[in-house]
Each structure stands twice: as structure tokens, then as C-alpha cells.
């Protein structure tokens, strides 16, 4: 039995245990279905795994970024999701191991990345000029460097958070705040290079300086949406029920709105710059996303990933009603999958078979399989620690201000 310091009642622990068991079943079924991709060779296995990995990795590394942003800026709403995001960040070691299989396997065991093929490089001059960055050795070393950075930040913030719960030492707060600024800068730089290596290089002739910011913004949006969903289900936990108010959810809704606008800005800016430049090595990326079902998917992307959530999040009542905001957050998170699908899958074979029943089904199976195991790991981390900071004076002050505001 978990200690009461988790704030979770026996009923909540039973629910989490049941959810973890179901998540394992979904993970196992999804994994078995993903293995049917081997009928297309090793590429057929690694391609859907890359999409699924990028979707769930968004929650792990995105939560780490939100934790650093919380300590840099503060705010009552961020204290409510601090422990949720810390638990999400503690799943990064799993991603380090899984990513080694997905990405290094794609480089050494398959032809998913064209720059691993000498004949391709000989026939494509633009790609051959990038071999100083796009080669197996640099890819492997960079992969290790990325995770050393992220795991170090994850370890420091989770360790300091636990120490602060025990001691209430204000020096720990100063330490976390001091590291947050440089940590976020290093995070943005490392994520930009990782995005370039892991997904942009699937079409090595193409390049975009906005690709990194687009991915970082979408990852932050996914993490905030997920944290909002989890908080909405935890609001009946006695200790959280005393602190959480509709205003906290309103702030989270505003944050999702801002990140949705940022995603829209980066996506459209990339298209506008490339359309205006009209260079062959740049427009090929968009040509691969036209024709057949992809044109229809592009329209869906504009309507359902940009316009619909922005319209819903502009409406104040939707952000004050927890049930509505939870449904919007679930919708936003699901649309992240559509966005990643449109951005990544056409890189594998142009627009051929991108929206075929088998390809879509394979990607959904991979997302479900990987997601089942990730949810299991996340819930295991979530119940290990108190759901709210115990001796953080900033949190106490914020909650007192909220109570005074509510009384007023």
C-alpha cells in the first residue's frame, strides 16, 4: 500500500492500478499489431514507430520544459501541475532506451533515412553536402548527448523538488530558478538539433529554420493539454480539492490557446517563406503533402488543428468549466497525432500510400502500443510522490492569494 504522503486515497490507488493494468493490455495488443508492419520489411516496422515515438516523447520532454518554465516564472496554475509534469519528465529514461532502438535501428537496420544510402547521396548533391552532420556516427553521438542533457535536467529538478519537500530550504528554490533560464535555452537548442536529426532528415535535401520551433511549440502544447487532463481527473483528491479552482483551469486554457496560436504561426510562417522562395529543394516537402488524400488531410489540419481549438479556447466559459476544458484538451492532444502524421509519414514514400488503410492503421497501432506502456510508466511515477509541493513557500503564498481572491 502506498503511503498517505501521495495524497491519493485507497479508491484512487485502486483506480490507478486498474488503469495501469488496462494500459498494459492496450500496449501489448498495439505492439503485436505494429509488428505486422514487418510484412513491408524493416522499414515497415520503424516508420510507424518513429511517428508513435515522437507523439509520446512530446509528453515526456514537454513536461520537463514545463517544469523549468514553472520554476522560472511561477504562478498558481503551474504549482497545480508541477508534480504531474515532474512525473511525466521521469519517464524520459524509458524514452532513452526506446529511442535507441527506434532511431539507431532505423539508421543501422533499415533504409528509413535516405542519407544512410551511398547511392542516394551520389544522386542528390544537396544531401551529400550535409554528410558532416548526417552520418551514422554523428547521429549516434548526438543522440547520446541529447539524452545526457535532458536526463541531467530531469534528475536535478526531481531531486531538488524532493529535497525541498523534506527541508523547505529556500536555497533550493534559488537553485531551481537559476538553472531554469539556461536550462530552457539548452533545451530549445538540443530539441532543435534532435528534430533536425530525427525527423527533418527523413527528407535530407529539405531544410527549414522554423522546423525546430514548430516541434518545440507543439510539444509544449501536448504537455500542457495532458497535464490539464490529468489534473481534471485528480481534482476530487481531498488535498487538491482544497486548492484547485476554476481559475487554475482558466489559466491552463489560456496557455493552451497561446501555444495553439504559436503552432499556427510557425506552421504558416514556414509555408509562406518556402512558397515565397519557391526553391526546388524546399518546395519538394510540400509537394509530397499534396494530392490524393493528403490534400484533404491538409484541409483537416487547418480546420481541426488550428481553427476549431482556437475558437473553443477563445471562449471563456469553456475554460472555466472543467468538463469542457478536459474534452478540449483531449481533442487538442489527439490533433497532435494528426499534425505529426501529416509532417512525418509523407517523408517515407512521398504521397504514395500515405493515407492508405494499412498505413493509418499501422501508425495508430504503434501509437496505442507505445502509449499503453507510457501511461503505465507515468501513472507509476505519479503515485510515488505528493501531488502538491509540501514546503515550497511560493506555493503557500500562491494558494493564500487564491483563497483571499475567492473570499473577495
User: Where along the chain do its domains lie?
Assistant: 4-403
Cα separation, 277 vs 274, in Å, equals 5
For residue range 352-379, list pLDDT tens digits in order. 778 889 999 999 999 999 999 999 999 9
**Greater pLDDT, 241 or 402:** 241
Contact indicator for 383, 20 with CB cutoff of 8 Å: no
Q: What's the whole-number mean pLDDT along residues 161-167?
A: 94
Which residues, including other chains, have CB under 8 Å from residue 14's CB and lie 6 or more apart?
none
Question: At 5, is the pLDDT very low, low, confident or very high (cuts 50, 70, 90)?
Answer: low
pLDDT 10s digits, 242-277:
889 999 999 999 999 999 999 999 999 999 999 999
Q: How many Cα atoms occupy the beta-carbon half-sphere of 382 within 13 Å?
A: 26
Q: By mean pLDDT, which of 28-42, 207-221, 232-246, 306-320 is the weakest? A: 232-246
| pLDDT for the residue 239 | 84
> Residue 3: which pLDDT band, with cuts at 50, 70 and 90?
very low
Extract long-range pairs of 154-157: CB within 8 Å, 24+ residues apart: 154/64, 154/89, 154/90, 154/92, 157/64, 157/67, 157/68, 157/71, 157/86, 157/89
pLDDT for residue 104 is more than 70: yes
In tens, the pLDDT along 278-301 reads 988 889 899 888 877 788 888 989
Rounded CA separation 26/31 (Å): 8
Amino acid at each position: 500500500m502506498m503511503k498517505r504522503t501521495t495524497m491519493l486515497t485507497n479508491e484512487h490507488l485502486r483506480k490507478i492500478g486498474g488503469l495501469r493494468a488496462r494500459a498494459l493490455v492496450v500496449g501489448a495488443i498495439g505492439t503485436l499489431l505494429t509488428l505486422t508492419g514487418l510484412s513491408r520489411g524493416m522499414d515497415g516496422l520503424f516508420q510507424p514507430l518513429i511517428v508513435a515515438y515522437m507523439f509520446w516523447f512530446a509528453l515526456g520532454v514537454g513536461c520537463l520544459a514545463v517544469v523549468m518554465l514553472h520554476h522560472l516564472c511561477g504562478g498558481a496554475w503551474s504549482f497545480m501541475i508541477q508534480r504531474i509534469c515532474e512525473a511525466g519528465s521521469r519517464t524520459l529514461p524509458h524514452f532513452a532506451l526506446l529511442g535507441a532502438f527506434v532511431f539507431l535501428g532505423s539508421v543501422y537496420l533499415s533504409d528509413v533515412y535516405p542519407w544512410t544510402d551511398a547511392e542516394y547521396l551520389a544522386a542528390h548533391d544537396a544531401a551529400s553536402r550535409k554528410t558532416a552532420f548526417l552520418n551514422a556516427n554523428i547521429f549516434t553521438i548526438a543522440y547520446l548527448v541529447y539524452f545526457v542533457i535532458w536526463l541531467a535536467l530531469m534528475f536535478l529538478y526531481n531531486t531538488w523538488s524532493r529535497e525541498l519537500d523534506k527541508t523547505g530550504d529556500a536555497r533550493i528554490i534559488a537553485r531551481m530558478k537559476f538553472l531554469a533560464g539556461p536550462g530552457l535555452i539548452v533545451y530549445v537548442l538540443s530539441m532543435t538539433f534532435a528534430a533536425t536529426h530525427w525527423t527533418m532528415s527523413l527528407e535530407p535535401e529539405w531544410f527549414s529554420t522554423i522546423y525546430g520551433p514548430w516541434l518545440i511549440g507543439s510539444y509544449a502544447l501536448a504537455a500542457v493539454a495532458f497535464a490539464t487532463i490529468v489534473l481534471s481527473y485528480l481534482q476530487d483528491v481531498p488535498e487538491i480539492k482544497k486548492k484547485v479552482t476554476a481559475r487554475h483551469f482558466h489559466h491552463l486554457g489560456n496557455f493552451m490557446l497561446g501555444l495553439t496560436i504559436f503552432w499556427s504561426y510557425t506552421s504558416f510562417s514556414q509555408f509562406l517563406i518556402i512558397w515565397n522562395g519557391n526553391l526546388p529543394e524546399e518546395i519538394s516537402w510540400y509537394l509530397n503533402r499534396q494530392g490524393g488524400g493528403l490534400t484533404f488531410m491538409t484541409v483537416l489540419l487547418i480546420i481541426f488543428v488550428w481553427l476549431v481549438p482556437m475558437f473553443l479556447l477563445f471562449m471563456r466559459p469553456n475554460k472555466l468549466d472543467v468538463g469542457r476544458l478536459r474534452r478540449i484538451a483531449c481533442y487538442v492532444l489527439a490533433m497532435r497525432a494528426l499534425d505529426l502524421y501529416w509532417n512525418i509519414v509523407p517523408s517515407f514514400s512521398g504521397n504514395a500510400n500515405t493515407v492508405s488503410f494499412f498505413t493509418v492503421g499501422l501508425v495508430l497501432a504503434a501509437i496505442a502500443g507505445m502509449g499503453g506502456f507510457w501511461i503505465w510508466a507515468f501513472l507509476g511515477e505519479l503515485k510515488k510522490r505528493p501531488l502538491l509541493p509540501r514546503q515550497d513557500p511560493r506555493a503557500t503564498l500562491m494558494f493564500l492569494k487564491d483563497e483571499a481572491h475567492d473570499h473577495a
